[in-house]
Amino acid sequence: MSTTAQVLAVFIGVMLVSVFVMESFLYRHPKLYPLFLIDADDFDAVRMWTINMGFYNLTTAVALFAGVALVRTDHVAQGEALLVFTAAQHVFLAFVLVASQRKLWLNSIMEGLPAAALLVAALA
């Protein structure tokens, strides 16, 4: 697997860890209202969703880090499979995100483009 694919996987993993922190711990911060399309009145209603999605993103980041670790420790096929699946999953989820809420088109691009680039790099 190319160094480019591995670097992209780590970059996306770091990005997902950042999203985990925002979704699970910082979602009440006013600067994040536009990102999550929430208002202060919605905190109680979205708490379970944000925490669940945050930890989902954390586990996805762990999968990316594990995939790179597998590739780098001579378990190339297993690592590639994990990275390809995770990248394909996020490309699909980017489409789901924009289909479910068009206002989240930028979030969808931020999720989908790096994942699509990883998918192309991993399969090249």
pLDDT in tens, 59-102: 999 999 999 999 999 999 999 999 999 999 999 999 999 999 89
Q: How confident is the model at residue 28 (pLDDT cuts 50, 70, 90)?
A: confident
Look over the chain and give the mean of its residue pLDDT values, rounded to a whole number. Answer: 91
Domain chopping of the chain, boundaries: 3-123
Report the pLDDT value the prediction gives residue 39, as an integer from 0 to 100. 76
Report the pLDDT value the prediction gives residue 62, as an integer from 0 to 100. 98
Q: Which two tokens stand for residue 104?
A: 């989240």
| DSSP, residue by residue, 62-89 | HHHHHHHHHHHTT-HHHHHHHHHHHHHH
Q: How far apart are alpha carbons 34 and 39 in whole angstroms? A: 9
